[in-house]
Every structure is written in C-alpha cells, then in structure tokens.
Amino acid sequence: MKALGRHILAEFVNCQSEILNDVSGIEKSMLEAAKAAGATVISSNFHHFSPFGVSGVVVIQESHLAIHTWPEYQYAAVDVFTCGETVDPWISFEFLKKVFGAEYTAQEIQRGLPDKIQKSTSYRPPLREERIGIQGPPQVLRNVWFTDKSDTLALSLRYDGEVLYNKTTVYQQVRVLNTLAYGKLLAINNMIMCTERDEAHYHEMMVHPAMQLHKKVKNVLVIGGGDGGSVRELVKYKSIEKITLVEIDEAVIEASKLHLPALAKDLTHPKVQIIIADGIDFIKKAKPKSFDLVIVDGSDPVGPAEGLFTEDFYKDIKSALSDDGILMTQGESPMFHESTFVALNQSLKSIFGQDKVHTLLFHATTYPSGMWSLMMATKSTLNPKKDINTNDIQAFVKTNKLRYYNDELHVSSFSLPNFVQDMLKNR
C-alpha cells in the first residue's frame, strides 16, 4: 500500500505585491493549477482582506489547493494536497511557480503512511438506491469574497470572481465587481463606494433634502461624484440650469459609464459639464456667489479626498455660494468615524454659524456600521425641518419614483439619536 496522499508545502518570496493582492487573479491561477494537473474541481472559496492579503482554497475531488498571501511582505504560502495516483501535485506547483515568477522553496510530505494506519473493514457508507437526473461533469462553485476591512470592522460581499473594471491611476485603484447580493459594486482602494442595490439611499439623500428646501437652485457644483449618482438625481429638477461636476479621477467616470449605467446615465445630459480637476483647487478659484448648491460627494478622508475635510476648503465653498446657497457634504459615520464626524461638524459651525449647520442620518447598508451622515450648511435662515412643503415632496417622489427619500424621511432624518446629540452638544 502506498501513502494515501501527497502534500506539497511551498513558500514563494519576493513576489510582486500587486499579484498577491489580486483575489480574482489568485483564484483563477489556483483553479488553472488544479486543472493543469488533471484534478476535478469541486469549488473555490477566496477572500480579499483590505487593505491587502488573499486567503483561499480550491476544493478538488482529489483533495485541495490552498494559499495565503502577504503582499506587504511579498510572500505567499501554498499547499497542494492530492489523494490517489491520478493527479501529480508537482504539476500544480510548476504552474504556480510560473505565475508568481519568484524565489521559492517546496517540499513533499507523504500523508497516511501504511505503517501508521489501517483500513477499517466494518464501515460502509449508505448507498443511494438510484441516481436522479443526468450525470455530467460537476459544476464548479466559485465562492470569492470582497472584504472592506479596517483594523476593527469588516464587511464581506460574495462576488462572481470576475473583475469587470480594474485601473490604477496616480490617485487610486478603481474596480468594479459583480456581487451576488448587491449587484455591481464600485470600489476605490478596496473600499466600497456604492452598489447597485443601495446606492439610491446615498444619492437621493445627498440631493433631495437641499433641493426641496431651497426651491430656486439654478447653478449646482458637484465635487467628486464621478459615478454619476448625484448628477442623476439633480437632473430630475427642471429648474436647474447648469450642473458642474468636478472629478479628480477620470477612471471613476469611465468605470461607471461602462458598468454602472443606471448611475451614469445622465453624465451626458446637456445641462451637465464635466471637468477633470482637483475640486479643492477648483473651488478656491471659483467666483464669489457663483453656485446656489454645492455638493461634496467625496470618499473617506484618505488619498485625494483628504483635503475635502479641511476648514480652508469649506471657507472657499462658503465664498462660492450665493446669499441663500446651501452646502451638502458627506459626513462619515458617527458610529465608526466619530472624531472625523465631530471635527467636520465643528468646522462647519465655525464657518457658517451654529444654527445653520444641520446633520442628517440615513441607512447605508454597505458602509461601515450601516449608519451614515450628511451635513447641510446654509447661508440663509432656511431650516430643513420647518421650511419644506410636504405636499410638494410627495408629488415629486411619486412622479420620479424615488426608492428611498420621502417627506416623512426628510423630517425624521434630521432627528438625531441621543448619543449623536451628545457628540455634537456644545461643540
């Protein structure tokens, strides 16, 4: 009797970090390595960890191939286990060696040696009395996961293993994936920006509370928002004459036009002007009182979006707003980004005045904690809880078939939980 299994343990060093951090590429390589050896693939299960690292396994009829990568160390640990005599694990290893193109060490261990084990003669598994249906080659179940992860919190979404869009610019990495539960997902630097299923929560709340309050908006500036969701909501207002979208990274617009048409559909509207530029520089040079509404539709305060959370930036916005102008900006999560949330609120109050800054909360199911905030700052005395017409809102919601925003939600979103009030009290 020969050993029951052959187990290769391999280490790859000085690999390219980009290869080791690409969960889709790793999964495909592991699947191809199994097939190269003639193995029968049953399923694959792979996770990407933010900001880096991939862990996964390909289950084969003859056992498995597994991997864990450390891109920050340019290191990968791989094991290939095969049972029986039909599959040679070294063929899989040779395939992966070409994929990684790196230094390596590898050893084979014999598993289930005959002098250590004895076959049972009493165990008999139950047999099926009949087979139902047509028997064909097994269908491979791909179980690949995208994970948006911090040091204390993570959200994972399963996707089909394919990367629909992947471009790294001088600013960031932009990707689009197709998830099973939330449809297509736009990720920047492995952080979820929006998904098809719940993007309306964010974009409707970013636009409609301000538009239903002001009533006379003609000229709008959107900083960020290259996915097109905020522009789509603004175009629903016939009173708007011009929408200027300033996006720093053209790849975001390209990705959305190619793969998220429901968001990007109005980026080509005749009222919309797209400028590829730094929004911070743009607003600094803007003419005083040139916009009725400014929307800051940026990502978390890292990378190119870091400057969107500074006091100078919001002073420039106030200068660019008309006398009754309104600012809407995303304010992070009070549950997850308390210090940033509070600091932004303090900054806006110091610029616009204590009574002219209003915080609203809404459900963002794929953002950290699921509770997200927007902050509204007004140059006039308009109050978003008092100076609205609920009948007008109801008619607008019905006509435009909004998915999230309505008149009752408008008022209630500005009613803050006690713990959030305590964060902002006397600040």
Spell out the residues 6+ positions from residue 89 whose beta carbon is closer than 8 angstroms to its own.
6, 7, 8, 37, 80, 81, 82, 108
Phi, psi of 394 (to 5 degrees): -60, -40
Tokens of 11: 């280490």
Beta bridge partners of 154: 149
Q: How far apart are CA 58 and CA 79, in angstroms?
A: 11
CB neighbourhood size of 44 (10 A): 22
Q: Which residue has the tokens 């160390």?
A: 73
Annotation says 297 is catalytic: yes
Q: How far apart are CA 162 and CA 175, in angstroms?
A: 11
Residues 373 and 359 sit within 8 Å (Cβ to Cβ): yes
Give the CA radius of gyration of the chain. Answer: 27
Q: Which of 79, 297, 300, 316 is catalytic?
A: 297
Residues 341 and 421 sit within 8 Å (Cβ to Cβ): no
Residues 349 and 371 sit within 8 Å (Cβ to Cβ): no
Spell out the residues 6+ positions from residue 99 whose beta carbon is closer than 8 angstroms to its own.
19, 29, 33
Active site residues: 297
